[in-house]
Structure 1
Amino acid sequence: MFDASLLQVARRQPLRRFWRSARHFWHGPTARLAWGLIAALVVITVLQLVVQYRLNVWNRDFFNALEFRNGAEIWHQTHLLALFAAVSIGLAVTAVWGRMTFQRAWREWVSRHLIDSWLEDGRYLHIELGNGEHQNTEYRITEDARLATDAPIDLVVGLLSSVLTAGTFVVVLGHVGGALDVSLLGTDFTIPGYLVVAAMAYALLTTGTLMIVGRHMIGVIESKNQAEAELKYAVAHLRERATRRMSPGDLEGATSEVGSALGDVVREWRRLAGQYMRTTYVSHGNTLLAPLVGLILCVPHYVQGTMLLGDVTQAAAAFVAVQGAFNWLIDNFPRLAECLSSANRVGNLLLAFDRLESADEEPDLSADRKRVATS
């Protein structure tokens, strides 16, 4: 039986409506596959972090061996690098298999659910009668369903990796960097864990700047997706009209609709390009500066002789790792916006199915009330 209260909640939140359906992939016949893949991805992510940490330590040992011109140790570290590289490559390949297997299985489940709902009770005949966003059901079942299920797997795995990496390498920065004695305007004071403080401040600056610069990206991406769907609908509609041997005037009108839809797509892509250009200022600038900032921050200790060359390179590499973890949002903001937009569109399609189901059940409820009244 249709739950009207759930419909009211879902109308306000299409994303919640999408998740209310999509989460059933973790139940029933597909539950074992879903949870097994999650467990495998978590284990692989942890193992990748272990290898990344060991490479960070290798960085210190190798450059210390270079500083002391220790040929035997350099040769030993070279052998270790080959081992770590092989393990890291193997884990990366396995991670790709796990993510893509998960994405394929989840997308298949969601697409089948959408197709079944679309075909149930001849809904495909009625949902096309709506205007605007519900005209392009096929696009939502194919393209939007793909984006709404592909991106979350990558994003969640990346977020888990970022959280673990940040926690691990913040400890490394605190241990390697230690405290820094500073003299400012005649006042001496000490900054404990100064590399950790600097890494967090730098990450807050870059992330905050991106949030301000790219605050409109989700809306722009959603408008672009809608324009793409409308173009696809207009082209399909033109083909249907052409097969009916329309008059030249009708054909010209249909062609004009396609041209207008194409113009909308170009305009939305121009807006999206502007958003990407603005966010690239932040993301690309961070990619260039973060390694250099990490090295520069270690200069005081190195000049004072309290850090070896290996310690400097280890701290700089850890600083970059922490920045990469803290700036997960910077690296994934466009894809996150694309994912939310597509999930929102699929959620709106599911809401349209809910409204049709509600409309189908209303006559039955009225008949029940009449029978009760007459009895």
Structure 2
Amino acid sequence: MADREPDAAPVPESFARRVRNLAAQYFNGEEKGKARLLAFGVLALTLLQIGIQVRFNIWNRDFFNALESRDRGAFFGQMGLFVGLTLASMVTAVAQLYVRQMLQLHWREWLVTRLQRRWLEGGRHYQLGFLEGAADNPDQRISENTRWATAMAVDLAVGLITSVLMLFSFVGILWTLSGPLHVAFGATEFDIPGYMVWAALLYAGIGSFLTWRIGRPMVEANVRRNLAESDHRFALVRLRESGEGVALIRGEPDEERGLRQAFRHVVTVMQDLMRSERRLMWLTSAYGMLLTVFPVLVASPRYFSGAITLGVLMQISSAFGQVTTSLNWFVDNFPRLADWRSHVERVSELEDTLEAELAAEGEGGITTEEGPLPDGREVLAFRDLQIAQSDGSMLIAEANAEIAAGEKVLIVGESGTGKSTLFRAIAGLWPWGSGTIRIPPREAMAFMPQRPYLPLGSLAGALAYPQPAKRFPRHTQEAALRRCGLEHLVPRLEETERWDRILSLGEQQRLAFARLLLHRPRWVFLDEATAALDEANQDTMMRLFREELAESALVSIGHRPGLDAYHDRTLSLVRGAEGARLTARRRRQAPPVPPRRVAGPVIAAGQGALRRLLRGARG
């Protein structure tokens, strides 16, 4: 991955291009078969609905003519036809809603799955936190913005298609029924053919223009509202996850001020949006009310002249309403369009960030070579390695070292010299820098940070993570817990809890060592992984690398006294003016193992028996 400028953001695409790309990726992607079938179903049912509406328009004429002529038989015949058309309309509407909902759900599922996969791939979810200008709150964009970006896209697209088809279906009817309008200006006389069509176009055109002029600020207001809402949500989630630390130092008043300020921003943006909505409501309310009388008023001269019947007048009014409704799609949906645009923009911004990260991965920077050397040896080696911060400043200026399989190496250095960042580079999570890192096969490596990750679910799932718990026999899981002084958790293996909250940090760290006993990786990397343990428990855990995991290579970061006794040699990161340098200390002889200590509930007599049980389970 390249050593790149994080703020070199891609040129933003136009909104139309973003929408086109979002739809094209779905309808031409791996799910295109189902996507196109659902879209075709929605279109077919929409056409059927329009056909029923056209028949309703004809029924409107016949029904009012029957009333005008006082024809009882024709009247009841038209009522029967009305019942049939109503049932057909109901069935078609429900069927169309079902297929439309399936299309919305499937599109969202495809988009969420795609974004989640790309976000998690190669540790990008971690790297985005270091990039200036990266899409903020990706969790909210994936969970919330994808929902509205896809659901509203389907609704708006179906509405637009329906409006266009209705326009073409009813404009001919309106043209034929309205006939010419004779206009006289002094000595000048002329006829306007299909004048009701021109009246509908004029009416809808004026309404659309005024809607665009009055509602234009709503687009930006919706974008700012989404941003403010996501920031407030992030603040709430962060407080929930950091509840213990806040409570211990009585930081609630400061947190309340921060949350109040975040929500005040939401309120300010919402007030701007509501103000725009009220201005738009003045127009849409008057526009809608006028529509009920405008077509009758315009067509009334021909009715009063006897050129058309009451039924034809009502048919003209109905057709005029359908035509203007079709032309008014923009007027009716402008608030939703503004809201939808903000969701599409946020999803597209996340896509752009992930695309930029993906494109940058092949541009050089730190090169990772995985697998054994040509002679078959597995090593961890640094060749002319330089590690930079995400802003380009140098953190480690030079690192050249080689660690052989089975070695136990301790890396030390002052705080801020880049020890943990070096581990991230080894794991492939830190792309900024240059040089080469030769690593063993990734499946042979296990990383243990200071705070182990415990997934949601059962304790057995947390112990076996990232493999499924069923891969390891129950007695092996129990033996691993007992070997690490966690026998009190054995009866709770099947319980589902928030284990990252229930267990102390020391228990979590010992659970991570028990995890090692199950997976038995050939390479283990510890980053302050015993920082929460007392000296006795630290000695017990580190003995695993002499007794249970003697063949595993160990590379660890730590400052605790006594750690060097469990390592063969030490590498030091020495701070320099242009970045730290990795230097090697004299190679140590195998040190004597400190006397075994009693660690909590683990007793010396029990450890031997438990070790034999572990070996028997592995056999």
What TM-score do the two structures reach when normalised by structure 2? 0.56
1:205 Cα deviation after fit: 0.7
Q: Which amino acid aligns with 1:38?
A: A
Q: C-alpha separation between the residues in 2 aligned to 1:84 and 1:361?
A: 61
Alignment-derived partner of residue 278 in structure 1: 279
When you count helix as a share of all residues, which structure comes out higher? 1
The one-letter amino acid paired with 2:316 is A
* Equivalent position of 1:113 in the other structure: 114
Q: Deviations over 1:163-184 (max 9, x none)?
A: 1111111111111110011223
More strand per residue: 1 or 2?
Answer: 2
Partner residue of 2:496? none
Corresponding residue of 1:12:
12
**CA gap 1:345/1:201 in 2 versus in 1, 3 angstroms:** same
**Compared with structure 1, are the counterparts of its residues 171 and 13 closer, same or farther at alpha carbon in structure 2 (3 Å cutoff)?**
same
Q: Which runs of 5+ in 1 are unaligned?
A: 371-375
User: Compared with structure 1, are the counterparts of its residues 18 and 81 closer, same or farther at alpha carbon in structure 2 (3 Å cutoff)?
Assistant: closer
8 A contact 2:111–2:146 mirrored in 1: yes
TM-score (norm 1): 0.90
Tell me how far apart the structure 1 counterparts of residues 128 and 260 of structure 2 sit (CA, whole Å).
25
- The residue aligned with 1:73 is 74
Identity %: 31
Q: Once the two structures are superposed, what CA deviation does each residue of 1:43-65 show, in whole Å capped at 9, x if it has no partner? A: 11111111101100100001011
Where does residue 300 of structure 1 map in the other structure? 301
Partner residue, 1:373: none
Instruction: Using the TM superposition, give the Cα deviation of residue 97 of structure 1 relative to its aligned residue in structure 2, in angstroms.
Output: 0.4
- Give ranges in structure 2 of 5+ residues lacking alignment: 370-383, 385-619
Letter in structure 1 aligned against 2:45:
I
Provide closer, same or farther for how the CA distance between residues 250 and 226 of structure 1 changes in structure 2, counting only shifts above 3 A: same
Q: Secondary structure at the match of 1:362?
A: coil
Residues 112-156 of structure 1, C-alpha deviations (whole Å, 9 max, x = no match): 111111111112222233567733111100111111111111111
Helix, strand or coil at the partner of 2:70: coil
Bigger drift between 53-62 and 115-124 goes to 115-124
Distance, in Å, in 1 between the alignment partners of 2:114 and 2:14 is 16
Q: Which residue is 2:166 aligned to? A: 165
Checking the alignment, whether the CA contact within 8 Å between 2:128 and 2:134 is kept in structure 1 is no
Q: Which residue of 2 aligns with 1:179?
A: 180
SS at match of 2:184: strand
**2 CA distance for matches of 1:10 and 1:43?**
40
In structure 1, distance between residues paired with 2:18 and 2:216: 24
Contact 1:22–1:110 (CA under 8 A) maintained in structure 2: no
- Choose between structure 1 and 2 for higher RCO, CA contacts under 8 A separated by at least 6 residues: 1
Task: Return 21-30 or 138-147, whichever deviates more.
Answer: 21-30
Aligned residue for 1:191? Answer: 192
Q: Distance in 2 between matches of 1:132 and 1:251?
A: 30
Query: What are the within-5 Å matches in structure 2 for residues 211-250 of structure 1?
Result: 211-245=212-246, 248=249, 250=251
3-state SS of 1:181 partner: strand
Residue 345 of structure 1 corresponds to which residue in structure 2? 346
What is the CA deviation profile of residues 2-55 of structure 1, one whole-angstrom value per residue up to 9, with x for unaligned ones? 9x9xxx996321754575355332235422211111111111111111110110
| Greater Rg over alpha carbons, structure | 2
Residue 271 of structure 2 aligns to a residue whose secondary structure is: helix
SS of the residue 1:189 aligns to: strand
Instruction: Describe the shift of the 1:179–1:21 C-alpha distance in structure 2 as closer, same or farther (beyond 3 A).
Output: closer
Cα distance in 1 for partners of 2:193, 2:367 equals 73
Query: What corresponds to 2:39 in structure 1?
Result: 38
CA drift at 1:245: 4.3
Cα distance in 2 for partners of 1:123, 1:250 equals 32
User: Once structures 1 and 2 are overlaid, which stretch shifts more, 123-132 or 93-102?
Assistant: 123-132
Distance in 2, matches of 1:336 and 1:133, equals 25
Counterparts of 1:22 and 1:65 in 2: how far apart (Å)? 49
- Alpha-carbon distance in structure 2 between the residues aligned to 1:10 and 1:117: 18
Deviation of 1:359 (Å)? 4.1
Aligned to 1:209: 210
Name the Cα RMSD after superposition: 2.5
User: Displacement of 1:261 after TM fit?
Assistant: 0.8
What is aligned with 1:147?
148
**Partner amino acid for 1:306?**
A
2 CA distance for matches of 1:78 and 1:65? 11
